[in-house]
Structure 1
């Protein structure tokens, strides 16, 4: 089966946290594809805790960035796939095809997928880092106040 670079880029961007791109490119025997939903589920559990207990929950600021980091890592992988040369793509995922075969070529949909992965992946990563550090330092200040009283 020919592996299309544009489809893999979009699948990695949209379904990467569930491991869908790993199954598309490497098959259902890929162990990392089966492990990717675990940090995604942990992050969604952080979202559930956020809605239930609010931002002051210590576990929320620890669990929520896991989802953001997973999504950002998948967005980075989508960028890497999209920017891969046709020769390298076909050599890795379509070794039976010619190096410049059509499934490895870049088109406008690939560029749009790369651009969205860059914009949204960066925003999610920065928001995850900012949220986590903000809550961590606020927690440290609260604990220092408790000690000083």
Structure 2
């Protein structure tokens, strides 16, 4: 039995707002969760890519690889918030609050949970589409540049 119940709404908001830092993993699984400690790595690399673009400009090829890491991490943790928010009370309590009744309040869905799902869908989908557009644009620009070099 868990000492403190894990609330679905808190976990979903932590995944949405602090997911790239692993906060939702630490809330649900404790500080010993290895995936929670790995999540900040692609986040930091992506932020470094953004810094390289600001410093060196858009032609920096290393930033083309690093920035999508940030976008993928934000999109994945937004998806995690959506999955958490949409899980039913019985499944949530069975997984995260095993010593409590199936219909215990920590697993219940509230309006705050719904707003988290809506915000996660909006921001997560936007970040995912922006990441894909950024990646494909730079990939095709690179291909065109290489084709020009070959044709000369």
Same fold (TM over 0.5): yes
The reply on whether 1:78 has 2:118 as its aligned counterpart is: no
State the 1:6 CA deviation: 0.5
Large movers: runs of 4+ above 4 Å: none
Structure 2 residue runs of 5 or longer lacking an equivalent are none
1:87 corresponds in structure 2 to 90
Cα RMSD for the two superposed structures: 0.6
1:59-74 equivalences in 2 (<5 Å)? 59-74=62-77
Q: CA deviation at 1:106?
A: 0.3
Distance, in Å, in 1 between the alignment partners of 2:95 and 2:102 is 10
* TM-score, normalised by the number of residues in structure 2: 0.96
Match of residue 27 from structure 1: 30
TM superposition shift of 1:98:
0.5
**What is the deviation of 1:61?**
1.3
Q: TM-score w.r.t. structure 1 length? A: 0.98
Q: Deviations over 1:74-110 (max 9, x none)?
A: 0000000000100000000001110000000001000
